[in-house]
Amino acid sequence: MDIYQAMRVFVRVVETGSFTAAAQALGYSTAQTSRLLSELESSLQARLLQRSTRRLALTEVGARYLERCRLILGEIEDANAEAGGAHLIPRGHLRVQSTTGIGIQLLAPLAARYAELYPQVDVDLTLSQRQPDLLEEGHDVVITLSANLPDSEMIGQQLGSIFSVISAAPSYLESHGTPKTPEDLNQHRCLHLVDPLFTDSWTFRDGQGEQSIRPGSVFQVNVAEAMAQAAEAGLGVCLLPDYVAVGSYQRGALVRLLPQYRLHEKSIYALYPSRRFLDAKVKTWVEFLKQEIPKVLDKHQAIVDDPEHWA
């Protein structure tokens, strides 16, 4: 017995007052309708309707069961309507995971603007230094950095590109001098950002080839924002993603060194499970980021490329 269909039959028989009318409304035969109701009563071991040749009457049990059936069927209809329209109307709980720096510097400010556009969507932003399992951990969208599109069964949309810049505080340079070449960095305190998304070495490439510098152990940290603060305090030379360095440059707390080099160039990707029946909140979030993140990155790159912020 299909309990859902049996409940529908029961409610419709009561509402129409006859098996024949209920059968016509539901697209069943009268015999099917009668059999479903009988099977329901047998399953419940309770009589729901008193039947006579002239009329149908609810039993006391049937009256109570009718109210429960109406509530249950109403919830099912609402759930079906919501799921069926999920690809049309952005609403519900949007679970986003991001690398820490991208989340702090880019996504958090943009989430406020997205919320204004789509007030029925609640954004849950989780920040982490590692790449999660999208399906196992229940995220709708993952924002990550990679030199190439991640090897994944997920759909990937490129949102923009970033690079890292050599930076130091003016106070540090006054005391230790300003490096003019990558080789000069061997004579400086180079701070170490421990991040699985970036290599440990600072690799400088130009027309003459490449040269790598390994930062020392005088200071190391796994969050770029903390690295920026240490460098601002004059601890040494650091390598920062441009989206982190830009705020320090604007305040004059750091300046850019060796501006002819861009290190650790990577793309920002949005990953999500499937294009088919894509939830509207996921689609609008990704499209919003594709539109807005390049604008923000262009502003950032204009600042770090401005000679006003160079040593």
Domain with residue 200: its CATH number is 3.40.190.290
pLDDT at position 55 is 82
pLDDT at position 139 is 83
pLDDT at position 183 is 93
**Residue 285 near residue 141, CB atoms below 8 Å:** yes
Query: What predicted TM-score, i.e. pTM, was given to this entire model?
Result: 0.75
- The DSSP string of 116-164 is HH-TTEEEEEEEESS---TTTTT-SEEEEEESS--SSSSEEEEEEEEEE
pLDDT at position 275 is 65
pLDDT at position 74 is 84
pLDDT at position 25 is 85
pLDDT at position 168 is 98
Do residue 170 and residue 307 come from a single domain?
A: yes
pLDDT at position 171 is 97
pLDDT at position 150 is 64
Q: Hey, which bits of the chain come out as E strands? A: 49-51, 56-58, 92-99, 121-128, 141-146, 155-168, 192-193, 202-206, 209-213, 220-221, 238-241, 255-257, 263-272
Count Cβ atoms within 10 A of the Cβ of residue 100 and give its class: 0-12 exposed, 13-18 middle, 19 or more buried. Answer: middle
Do residue 163 and residue 310 come from a single domain?
A: yes
Query: What are 212-234's pLDDT values in tens digits?
Result: 999 988 999 999 999 999 999 99
Judging by DSSP bridges, how do beta strands 238-241 and 220-221 pair with one another? unpaired
Do residue 8 and residue 142 come from a single domain?
A: no
Do residue 120 and residue 64 come from a single domain?
A: no
Low-confidence ranges of the chain (pLDDT < 50): none
pLDDT at position 137 is 63
Do residue 121 and residue 203 come from a single domain?
A: yes
**Residue 157 near residue 269, CB atoms below 8 Å:** yes
Which of 94, 79, 77 minimizes the C-alpha distance to 279?
94
Which of 143, 149, 162 minimizes the C-alpha distance to 271?
143
Tell me which of 84, 99, 127 is where a domain ends.
84
Do residue 289 and residue 182 come from a single domain?
A: yes
Do residue 49 and residue 103 come from a single domain?
A: no
Q: Please tell me the total count of domains within the chain.
A: 2
Tell me which of 60, 84, 108 is where a domain ends.
84
Tell me which of 26, 61, 84 is where a domain ends.
84
Say what the alpha-carbon torsion angle 184, 188, 192, 193 is, to the nearest 10 degrees: -70
CATH of the domain at 80: 1.10.10.10
Domain region containing 43: 3-84
pLDDT at position 15 is 87
> What does the mean pLDDT of the chain come to?
91
Dig out the tokens for 191 from the structure: 């701070």
pLDDT at position 263 is 95
Do residue 138 and residue 25 come from a single domain?
A: no
Do residue 72 and residue 117 come from a single domain?
A: no
**Chain centroid to CA 100:** 13
CA dist 282 → 15, 96, 116, 140, 141 (Å): 41, 9, 16, 7, 7
Do residue 279 and residue 164 come from a single domain?
A: yes
Do residue 134 and residue 23 come from a single domain?
A: no
Do residue 76 and residue 106 come from a single domain?
A: no
pLDDT at position 122 is 94
Dig out the tokens for 164 from the structure: 């890292």
